[in-house]
Amino acid sequence: MTRTSHPISAVAASLNIPDDALLRYGHDKAKVDLDWLSSRPENDSKLVLVTAMSPTPAGEGKTTTSIGLADGLRRIGEEAVLALREPSMGPVFGMKGGATGGGKALLVPETDINLHFTGDFAAIAEANNLLVALVDNHIHHGNELGIDPRAVGLRRAIDVNDRTLRTIITSLGGRANGVVRETGFDITAASQIMAVLCLAESPDDLKDRLARIVIGDRFDGGEATVADLGVQGSLTAILASALAPNLVQTLEGTPAFVHGGPFANIAHGCNSIIATRAALATGTIAITEAGFGADLGAEKFIDIKCRQSGLRPDLSVVVATVRALKYHGGVPLAELAEENVDALRAGIVNLVRHVENLQGVFGQSVLVALNEFATDTEVEIEAVKQALAPLGVHAVTSSHFANGGEGATDLARAVLEELKTPSRTTFCYPDEAGLQEKALNVATRVYRAGGVTWTASAKKEILRLEERGYGHLPVCIAKSQYSFASEKMLGAPTGHTLPIREVRLSAGAGFVVLIAGSIMTMPGLSKRPAALDIDVVDGEIVGLH
């Protein structure tokens, strides 16, 4: 059910956004005009990245902590503004439900944000799928560019968890239906165009990035790009509205720019650069998040988003829970409510590893936010604090889920304290390293793997991309979110191997995707998907959570 909130015009007014720069979508959502945003002067706002330990089925609450922290900062007089990611409808109807926080740490209007929102995902899928249709159409109508239909690198996109579309054969049914190809769909959030939109700095940059997208190989050995096809203008037109960031609010009225897609496992997983800059331009502290554990979310945030944009986090907040630490210590899900300090001490290696990485590899000032559950005990919380003390890192409990911003004021004060010694962000690898070396750097320094293996086809593709001049790009590793490893290994494994099975160039996004282990860029639905529980009753949408 959508909760009451202030009119979005009041939220915008609190940020000094003039009425004619506000494109309202109903009473409580809006887009903010890009021209107005780009005319904002530079300021010295602080950027706080919220990331997390490796996720568990117990739930850690990274989004609720981001929201609670922003609400808490507002409570103590800071002008905090959120920059968060838009939910995908795939998981909404799949396993997970909505992605707008929960309890009293909530984005509103939650139902609208979870369903369609302002149409950004639909625009991204439309641009993506028109592009692939134009490519197939070009091949069908004489193929002037000489594109090899066996080597089209683009896939279609849809915002549905649909395993059946992972690998398909198209153009059956005769000559009128085009040239038969094996291809497939990814979920929209994992599409290259999602990353292009998230990493674009402006409409012109968007068009340039779209033009650079590589369609695939040509028979003459070269590559065909969107610029060769001449359709970057149409794709930009389709995405023009979607590029403007969306403004909503928390239950407590804290402004939130919610823009760009999720899934740091199979995508780069950050909200848009434009939204992060909008939060920085309109507030004094911008709170942003990067998905799943810091091995995925923070690594990609820093090595891709920060590298490309020049943005630098002043502080990284790592979200952890006592329950998740016990889970990493081997406690089954059903027993997480019981005090178990030994298991917690065993599982805390996961949190410590993430903290060490953020400090050592990425040069971050780090604070740990312990998202409180009613079953946490004093002894357990103290054990966490003790374990982090040798790293010089504080752990602060926060009860925003139960108490809203009032429950997060301790965390907010600790964040202000840490911001006095801001991060000096460093990357995991330099631009100049080769693509294989970059993968090895992330694998050994962040995942603490013993090494990287490549399938023959992946190895061949990497070498080819380097020959073609893409060696300078950062890598975007797709792997399981549940572990530092590519398969589920609790705690802080070492010596495992990162097995890379597939390589995809995202020249428009400006990175090379390396797919490791058995991760899929199109999720499936479970046997009992959430879609069975969602309904509309008396005009209200129910069951989304």
Binding to a copy of itself (CB under 8 A) within 84-103 occurs at 89, 93
- 62 annotated ligand-binding residue: yes
The residue within the footprint of a copy of itself, chosen from 178, 255, 347, 404 (CB under 8 A), is 178
Query: What angle is formed at CA 285 by the lines to CA 283 and CA 288, rounded to 5 degrees?
Result: 105
The residue within the footprint of a copy of itself, chosen from 69, 82, 195, 231 (CB under 8 A), is 231
- 153 annotated ligand-binding residue: no
- C-alpha–C-alpha distance, residues 187 and 161, integer Å: 7
Q: Specify the residue, 498 or 530, whose C-beta has the smaller distance to a copy of itself.
A: 530
Element spanning 49, H or E: strand 46-52
Per-residue binding letters, 114-153, with a copy of itself (x by CB under 8 A): -xx-xx--xx-xx--xx-xxx-xx--xxx-----------
Amino acid present at 342: D
Q: What are phi and psi of 151, to 5 degrees?
A: -135, 40
- C-alpha–C-alpha distance, residues 54 and 324, integer Å: 9
The residue within the footprint of a copy of itself, chosen from 18, 233, 430, 451 (CB under 8 A), is 233
The residue within the footprint of a copy of itself, chosen from 161, 225, 398, 481 (CB under 8 A), is 161
For the bound state, the minimum distance from the C-beta of residue 351 to a copy of itself, rounded and expressed in Å, comes to 32
For the bound state, the minimum distance from the C-beta of residue 263 to a copy of itself, rounded and expressed in Å, comes to 17
Name every residue whose Cβ is closer than 8 Å to that of residue 94 and which is 6 or more positions away in sequence: 161, 523, 525, 526, 529, 530, 531
Q: Which of 303, 320, 317 is nearest to 426 (CA)?
A: 303
Of the listed pieces 160-168, 297-305, 348-356, 410-418, which binds a copy of itself according to CB under 8 A? 160-168
Under rule CB under 8 A, residue 173 binds a copy of itself:
yes
The residue within the footprint of a copy of itself, chosen from 79, 148, 162, 410 (CB under 8 A), is 162
- C-alpha–C-alpha distance, residues 135 and 224, integer Å: 10
Of the listed pieces 166-174, 219-227, 397-405, 485-493, which binds a copy of itself according to CB under 8 A? 166-174
Residues that contact a copy of itself, how many (by CB under 8 A):
76
**SS3 of residue 117 by DSSP:** coil
- For residues 276 and 249, the answer to whether their CB atoms sit within 8 Å is no
The residue within the footprint of a copy of itself, chosen from 76, 160, 227, 416 (CB under 8 A), is 160
- C-alpha–C-alpha distance, residues 304 and 397, integer Å: 30
Tokens representing 498 are 């990162």
Q: Specify the residue, 209 or 400, whose C-beta has the smaller distance to a copy of itself.
A: 209
Under rule CB under 8 A, residue 536 binds a copy of itself:
yes
- C-alpha–C-alpha distance, residues 212 and 133, integer Å: 18
For the bound state, the minimum distance from the C-beta of residue 466 to a copy of itself, rounded and expressed in Å, comes to 28
Angle, helices 62-75 vs 409-418, to 10°: value is 80
Under rule CB under 8 A, residue 417 binds a copy of itself:
no
Q: Specify the residue, 122 or 463, whose C-beta has the smaller distance to a copy of itself.
A: 122
- C-alpha–C-alpha distance, residues 381 and 358, integer Å: 22
Under rule CB under 8 A, residue 4 binds a copy of itself:
no
**SS3 of residue 404 by DSSP:** helix
Q: Specify the residue, 163 or 468, whose C-beta has the smaller distance to a copy of itself.
A: 163
- 56 annotated ligand-binding residue: yes
Site for a copy of itself in 22-61 (CB under 8 A): 23-27, 31, 35
Site for a copy of itself in 347-376 (CB under 8 A): none
- C-alpha–C-alpha distance, residues 21 and 24, integer Å: 10
Site for a copy of itself in 283-302 (CB under 8 A): none
- C-alpha–C-alpha distance, residues 450 and 165, integer Å: 34
Under rule CB under 8 A, residue 480 binds a copy of itself:
no
Q: How many CB atoms lie within 10 A of CB 424?
A: 11
- For residues 278 and 32, the answer to whether their CB atoms sit within 8 Å is yes
Q: Pairing between strand 46-52 and 285-289?
A: parallel
For the bound state, the minimum distance from the C-beta of residue 302 to a copy of itself, rounded and expressed in Å, comes to 31
User: Which residues are annotated binding-site positions?
Assistant: 56-63
User: Which residues are annotated binding-site positions for ATP?
Assistant: 56-63
